[in-house]
Amino acid sequence: MATAAASVLFQIGTGQNVMKPRVRHTPNLKTTTIIRSSTENYDRANDVKRFDDSKVGVKGLVDSGITTIPRFFVHPPETLADLKPGTRTGSGPEIIPAIDLSGLDSGNRRDTIQLRMGPKLADREEIPEICRNEVIEWDQEIKQLGELLTGLLCEGLGVETARFKDMTCLEGRVMVGHYYPYCPQPDLTIGLAYHTDPGVLTVVQQDHVGGLQVKYGGGWLDVKPIPGALVINIGDLLQIISNEEYKSAEHRVLANAHGEPRVSLAVFFSPGNREDMYGPLPELISPEKPAIYRQFTLTDFMTRFFNKELDCKSLTNYYKL
């Protein structure tokens, strides 16, 4: 099932624009005037494809010394009226992109797909049709796996098996698919910068290409793909709840130096009750080991996550007593 869910993401990453970002737009009148007179007979899709094939990226454009925004980064005025603000269901702050390429059905490669699966399952129509059935089925399977994993973790802490489930730690679920295209100069960039996951648990299904690394001691170790195996990451919230009996894992993804794309599928678990207070479990606090962290709401926690410093341990450090 995990393989089936991951395989459809190959289609997402190879040219099919299956999800169009919904963003708010504020037209620039000056730009609109310029574009109105300069877009006639302009093949925008071809320009985007050539830019994508060049692998230069925005940084490369900046380094080249450009003084004007490339034409294909600006929406023609006739398309602006069709772009409607989306319904925001995430927990983080509103994000307004500096560059918008939504609406480009040709020459556009999707790098990431993100779906909120809980506490309330996303509307079926919000899930791309190309992977809708697989996503819904995988979510049902992953909930059972999450219950098994948290039960085992509770046993390891010496608390009731259903303790984390009762805290709604399995109800918040976000599914994220990453597509990493081949990178001709992997030493100049990175696929995904080093970080820790903010939630309770992350379940990762990666394909055979590899690239995931975990920090151990002062170095980085490859997490080589094993057919049929899943990678389980401890998140920052579990580190806090367990009073550091469990530690969140620092990890990263290297730029893809292989001659084929890399695809991974991850599910992030977090509590469903956002206004409950979270902190070290009372059962784990004693005179010998007092609480290391203060209590907080998940709303406060996630707001801090979206505004934290680049140091990937700054989130847990912020809540230390």
Which of 60, 93, 109 is the endpoint of a domain?
109
**Residues 250 and 298 reside in one and the same domain:** yes
Q: pTM above 0.85?
A: no
Our count of domains for the chain comes to 2
Residue 287 included in any domain: yes
**Residues 157 and 293 reside in one and the same domain:** yes
Q: Residue 118 has what pLDDT?
A: 86
**Residues 71 and 183 reside in one and the same domain:** no
Residue 275 included in any domain: yes
Residue 87 included in any domain: yes
313-319 long-range contacts (CB < 8 A, ≥24 apart) are: 313/196, 313/250, 315/196, 315/198, 315/236, 316/196, 316/236, 316/239, 316/240, 316/248, 319/240, 319/279, 319/293, 319/294
- For residue 119, cis peptide bond before it (omega within 30 degrees of 0): yes
Residues in the chain with pLDDT < 50?
A: 3-39, 84-110
Alpha helices in the chain, H assignment, sequence order = 2-12, 29-38, 44-54, 57-63, 77-80, 132-157, 163-166, 236-241, 298-306, 314-318
**Residues 122 and 43 reside in one and the same domain:** no
Structural domain harbouring 232: 112-318
157: tokens are 């802490």
Cα angle: 215, vertex 218, 261; to 5 degrees: 35
Which of 49, 79, 109 is the endpoint of a domain?
109
Residue 141 included in any domain: yes
Residue 212 φ/ψ region, left for φ over 0, alpha for ψ in the -120 to 50 degree band, beta for the rest: beta
3-state secondary structure of 50: helix
Residue 3 included in any domain: no
95 closest CA partner among 110, 122, 114: 114
**Residues 179 and 312 reside in one and the same domain:** yes
**Residues 40 and 96 reside in one and the same domain:** yes
Q: Residue 159 has what pLDDT?
A: 97
Provide the CATH number for the domain around residue 256. 2.60.120.330
102 closest CA partner among 79, 122, 125: 79
Residue 2 included in any domain: no
Helix-helix angle 2-12:132-157, to 10 degrees: 130
Q: Residue 261 has what pLDDT?
A: 83
Which of 55, 75, 109 is the endpoint of a domain?
109
**Residues 97 and 154 reside in one and the same domain:** no
**Residues 131 and 187 reside in one and the same domain:** yes
The string of DSSP codes covering 102-130 is TT--SS----EEEEEEESSPPPGGGS-GG
State the sign of the Cα–Cα–Cα–Cα dihedral 267, 6, 54, 31. negative
**Residues 134 and 261 reside in one and the same domain:** yes
Q: Residue 51 has what pLDDT?
A: 76
Of the chain, the end-to-end C-alpha distance in Å amounts to: 43
CA–chain centroid gap for 285, Å, is 33
Q: Residue 274 has what pLDDT?
A: 87
**Residues 50 and 168 reside in one and the same domain:** no
**Residues 119 and 187 reside in one and the same domain:** yes
248 closest CA partner among 201, 212, 293, 209: 201
Query: Residues 6 or more apart from 240 whose CB is under 8 A from it?
Result: 278, 279, 280, 292, 293, 316, 319
